[in-house]
A = this chain, B = another copy of it.
Amino acid sequence: MSILIRGGTVVTAEQSFRSDVFCDNGMIVAVGDGLDAPTGAEVVDAGGQYVMPGGIDPHTHMELPFMGTVASEDFFSGTSAGAAGGNTMIIDFVIPAPQQSLIEAYHQWRGWAEKAATDYSFHVAVTWWGDQVKEEMGVLTREHGVNSFKHFMAYKGAIMVDDGVLLNSFARAQELGALCTVHAENGDAVFHLQKSLLEQGITGPEGHALSRPPQVEGEAAQRAIAIANVLGAPVYIVHVSTEQATQAIARARAAGHRVYGEVLPQHLVIDESVYRDPDWQTAAAYVMSPPFRPKHHQEALWAGLASGGLQTTATDHCCFCAPQKAAGRDNFTKIPNGTGGIEDRMSILWHNGVGTGRLTPNEFVRITSTNCAQIFNLYPRKGAVQVGADADLVVWDPAGTRTISAKTHHQNVDFNIYEGMEVTGVARHTISQGNLVWTDGDLRTVRGAGRYIDRPCHPPVFRAIDRYNELHKAVGVDREVSTAVTP
């Protein structure tokens, strides 16, 4: 099947230009003015629209088993909702239980993901340490297209790892040319505060935010960066939500260290007041980690995205419905952590970013797609509008509007954290592997159409880092040890 996108303005991370785009066999085969549509080709009118690389969401948790339940959104429904929002790929997480084989877990997740409608890939979490883990990290990179490993510095007693594990895993990943990512919250501090708040009788969702103050994230981000730094390794901080973590990243980058930060749109537009909603169910619906923050943190995050200090945007899409959230009715620590939003990320960012002059359309593409593709070594197969790239595109209507609501969204969850927001900037058409999967409000995704995408290790930045480390490695002093003195 072939498709001609005609009359639009191609917008990439670098430039904008009037051009048609022709796709065939799932690939972009021509980018240029006045292209002819071969017989049988579908023609999409992109007049007045922007043709951009499809959004890539590098942080989702479809059908995640977590906190005693399973996320309501599965790989099909989730990638479909993503497509309705202009996304054409996700990177989800394989999260082995402590002591579980990483390979075994990897295959488990691969199995679940077979129903995905668009392309996908997996970060693999390192939730424990041992020779087996070290060995399996190698296997995953060599045989399974994994080039990134995730680490949880929170969730004590479950999947949290300590600094010893971080050091071992970061060092191993560096050896393999793979990137380490971290969920940066000091899990010991969270645990301590949770206990203390419950003892004070604070059991509601407001306790969630109170138990995870901004310093808890700032500290962990700083720590992960320092640990990576002593090993000469790059590091990627997921869901940066605070000024403190943003500054920690900025300080590291200003010192020449390769550190990346990811932002979620919800942290850019929602603040901590939601946890004090008088309605428990509403407040609980916003429970995710890191929590929403005092409003002034948002400025730091927007500035980070505009300046390049923060590079990517994701959703941490992880849906739990009201009956699931209700598990924590008497104890906020039992509310399953997670919010949805894969369908809304692009619109929220366009409306609040491009629409307010904080971002250019090119910067929008950079932070929703291109940077992610480059950091995770998918570029230019993904994240680009160029001949030879996958035909994963979104035709974006900069003037289109919609009102976000759980009543109309395609996500499999009964709440929308952006409920009632009217946004300008919508995905008019989404093209995945050269197929129209979302067009003018019609969702045409196909169960299982998505492919697992291998991500090779050692992207260019690793070659630079390896060179740098080689030139700065520790050197011993050649000396005779004094024999005059004995212990």
Contact = CB atoms under 8 A, between A and B. Distances in A.
A191 interface: yes
A247 B229 CA distance: 17
Contact of A357 (B215, B296, B470): B470
A118 to B, nearest CB: 23
Interface in A367-407: 370, 374, 379-380, 384, 387
A16 B460 contact: yes
Given A164-B188, A487-B326, A206 B357 contact: no
Nearest to A224: B219
A224 to B, nearest CB: 9
A167, A465, A468, A474 interface centre (most CB from chain B within 10 Å): A474
A210 B474 contact: yes
A412 B111 CA distance: 68
B186 A480 contact: no
A40 interface: no
B485 A323 contact: yes
Given A15-B380, A206-B476, A299-B256, A468 B361 contact: no
Given A280-B479, A461-B360, A464-B354, A246 B256 contact: no
Interface in A46-85: none
B323 A486 contact: yes
A300 interface: yes
A408 interface: no
A410 B95 CA distance: 60
A162 interface: yes
A466 interface: yes
Contact of A193 (B168, B200, B230, B470): B230
Contact of A246 (B14, B254, B296): B254
A448 to B, nearest CB: 31
A306 interface: yes
Contact of A222 (B171, B222, B355): B222
22 contacts: A15-B380, A167-B189, A189-B227, A200-B476, A210-B474, A219-B222, A219-B226, A219-B227, A255-B303, A278-B479, A281-B485, A283-B477, A296-B296, A307-B308, A308-B309, A325-B485, A330-B481, A354-B464, A355-B467, A356-B471, A360-B461, A360-B463
Q: Which 7 pairs across A and B sit closest by C-beta, in order of nearness?
A: A357-B468, A357-B467, A256-B303, A219-B226, A163-B188, A253-B307, A202-B476
